[in-house]
Amino acid sequence: MDYEKLTVVMRRLALEAGDKIMEIYNSDEFEVKTKSDESPVTEADEAADALISAGLRAEFPGVTLITEEQADSHSEKADTFLIVDPLDGTKEFVHRRGDFTVNIAYVENGVPTRGVVYAPAKNRMFLTLADGSSVEEAGDFAKDAMGATTAIKVSDADNSALLVVASKSHRDQATDDYINKYAVADSKSAGSSLKFCLVATGEADIYPRVGRTMEWDTAAGHAVLHGAGGKVVRFDDHSPLVYGKEGYANPFFIAYSPSVALKEA
């Protein structure tokens, strides 16, 4: 894989999809449908998916593409593949809360090694560079040129005063029970894959997820966190979270700075 090209293409497509999403987000009304699993889908999900998928297939025709909005792709099997959630946090989008993201990632041998997470309503862009390191980009997000970037790295956590981030839409008692095993200084909630990015920048130390997710929900954030020195492990046995699983469904997991002393599930 040409990582320089991959970075440029993923970033550009995320920005273009973000424009399309915001156009619909800022309109007077938009249609919300319900998928077979009872989750919501909007015209923004579908428009962003069409744009990103066409772009990736044109630029990387030989690479398997898995995308949330194309059910046919969910039966594809590969160790190395591109994976897309064109609009992560649809509930946040529908309720106009702004915590939604565009996620594009590249998985190699079951590990997300490159990714882009773009939160268009929050003007935050996190991505991996060609060398695999992660940055946050600032500026006007020109499509053809990357703006000023800041290298990001996970926190040196204080285990007597941890900063926790958890899901905004899916927080439950099991999550709180696990968080309560730690000495917590502050707990915040965030939507979508932004939670991975908050750990990647050191704005949080740990993000436990005791709930259903799919690989397209997590791959881009996982790649960004990985490039910032963080880890993502299974909740049950603390083994690395791997990708390319049957049906692309994730087990419960913990995303964290390695300086956090993990507690058993």
Give the residue from 210, 198, 122 showing the smallest Cα distance to 163: 198
Q: How far apart are CA 121 and CA 100, in angstroms?
A: 8
For CA atoms 213, 80, 146, 55, the dihedral sign is negative
Find out whether 100 and 89 touch, Cβ atoms under 8 Å.
Answer: yes
Judged against a pLDDT cut of 80, whether residue 199 lies above it is answered with yes
Q: Report the pLDDT averaged over residues 161-179.
A: 88
pTM: 0.96
67-73-77 Cα angle (round to 5): 110
* pLDDT digits 0-9 by tens, 97-154: 889 999 999 999 999 999 999 999 999 999 999 999 999 999 899 999 999 999 999 9
At 33 the pLDDT is 81
At 195 the pLDDT is 96
At 254 the pLDDT is 98
Cα 221 to Cα 118, 160, 182, 231, 256: the distances in Å are 10, 26, 23, 11, 12
At 31 the pLDDT is 81
Task: Return the structure tokens found at 225.
Answer: 């966190």
Judged against a pLDDT cut of 80, whether residue 168 lies above it is answered with no
Judged against a pLDDT cut of 80, whether residue 210 lies above it is answered with yes
